[in-house]
Amino acid sequence: MSTVYDFTAKDRMGNDVSLSEYSGKVLLIVNTATGCGFTPHYEPLEAMYKEFRDQGFEILDFPCNQFADQAPGSDDEIHEFCTVKFGTEFPQFSKIDVNGETAHPLFAWLASEKPFNGFGKGLKNAALNKYAAANNKKYGDKTYIGWNFTKFLVDREGKVIARFEPTDDMGEVKKAVAAAL
C-alpha cells in the first residue's frame, strides 16, 4: 500500500522534491488556480498555515490550469500573485495536470484513495457540477479532480484521511486539520 511519501514532485524552481521530506507532518494537498472563483481560498489556507505550522502542519500547493484555463501564468507569475495578494508562505510546487493521461501520479493516487463524491447540494453546487462535467468530459475515466481547490488531508503516516471539494466550508476543513494534528 502506498503513502504520500512514495511520490516526488517538482518545486516551482524545477527541482525534484520527495514528499518523504514531509514525513510525520499533517498535510493538506491542494490543486489551485489564480483566476478561479475559489481563489480567495488562499486567505483561509494561509491563516490555517500560520496557526498550525508549528504543530507539524504543511500545505502543499499545486497550481493547475486544466479547469477553464484559470492558472495561465508561469510558476514565477503564479508564485508572485499568491505571495503579493494573499501573503502565502506555504510550499508551492510547479504547475501540473491533475486529470487525464498527463495527470501527476500523486493526484491520481490521492483521488483513488478518496474519490470524487460530488460538490454537494444547492444551486451554486449544481451549477459547478454541470460546468465541471462539461470541462472534464475530455478526461473520461482519468478524471480525478472535479475542480480547482480540491483539498486532500493526509495524516502523519502519509495516508489520505479526507477529501474536501472547493464548495466545502473552509471552517470544516480547519476543524478536520485541527483534529488530525
- Residues with a known catalytic role: 36
User: What are the CA-CA distances from residue 108 to residues 2, 70, 93, 132, 141 (Å)?
Assistant: 12, 21, 17, 17, 11
* Type of residue numbered 158: G
The Cα-based distances of 159 to 12, 29, 146, 171 in angstroms read: 24, 12, 21, 22
71 CB-side CA count, 13 A: 28
Whether 137 contacts 104, CB under 8 Å: no
